Amino acid sequence: MKQENNLFWIGGKNTVLEVIKSKKRRIKKLFLTKTNQFNLERKNIEFKICNNLEIDSIFKDNSFVHQGIAALVEKTPSDKDKSLNNIPGNENAVMLDGIEDPRNIGSIIRSAVAFDFKYLILEKSINIDSHYLFKSASGATEHINFIKVSNLNNAINLLKKNNFYIYASSLNSEKFLDEMSFHTNNCIILGSESKGVKKLLLQNSDETFKINQTDKIDSLNVSNSAAVIFNYLYQKKRAR
């Protein structure tokens, strides 16, 4: 199915309904099965009734569970490097280093929004307009600010100039998460499960830490680690 360059397809009930609710992006087309009709009857939005096979043909991906609903929506606007100057001093941000799997990124976004992180910093080469990412985020994409940068190390330096403290998650750290003295303006760096945070980023961080856990497993999935870290900072913030 032909689509404009500035549009892409998303699927999944929670994902599509949250995009409709937030009204942050244009919705050009909306297809759903008859069983999903009740979800949209009162939202004053046009839609076309289709069967599951027709929606399958949109995504051309048998492994994607669209739940009988698909929307052709406007791509995500992302701020540039200079926007790092505009992050308020009482906010937390997360930086992703080498994490490319859209499902992991989507899950991280979902946890970030749940625990009051409002900024996601990532390399400009990462495609955030993925139906898998949006489905995994379950609508949280509409509640976070994306900042794409050309160089993560330069982004760290700029954040430091704006009084942010940089903390990197690393399995090789000698300190644990609950030993960190987090501030009101923090940036947490998460690395890929295979390589972790790059050496230069670790060296440029103010501190590194690892999650307290039993020795029964080596490590958590990066999205699970993110949830633990974000929740810890959220509880610290609430306790102030």
pLDDT per residue, tens digit, the chain (240 aa), is 445 689 999 999 999 999 999 989 999 999 999 888 766 655 667 888 999 999 999 998 889 999 999 999 999 987 766 688 888 878 999 999 999 999 999 999 999 999 999 999 999 999 999 999 999 999 999 999 999 999 999 999 999 999 999 999 999 999 999 999 899 999 999 999 889 999 999 999 999 999 988 888 777 899 999 999 999 999 988 887
CA dist., res. 139 & res. 141, Å (int):
5
Q: Is 124 helix (H, G, I), strand (E, B) or coil?
A: coil
**Model pLDDT, residue 81:** 65
Q: How far is CA 35 from the centre of its chain?
A: 29
pTM: 0.93
Domains of the chain, earliest start first? 7-74 (3.30.1330.30), 81-239 (3.40.1280.10)
**Model pLDDT, residue 82:** 63
| Phi and psi torsions of 7, nearest 5° | -125, 155
Q: Is 238 helix (H, G, I), strand (E, B) or coil?
A: helix
Q: Which DSSP state fits 1?
A: -
**Model pLDDT, residue 217:** 75
**Judging by DSSP bridges, how do beta strands 69-74 and 7-11 pair with one another?**
antiparallel
**Model pLDDT, residue 85:** 87
**Model pLDDT, residue 87:** 87
**Model pLDDT, residue 70:** 96
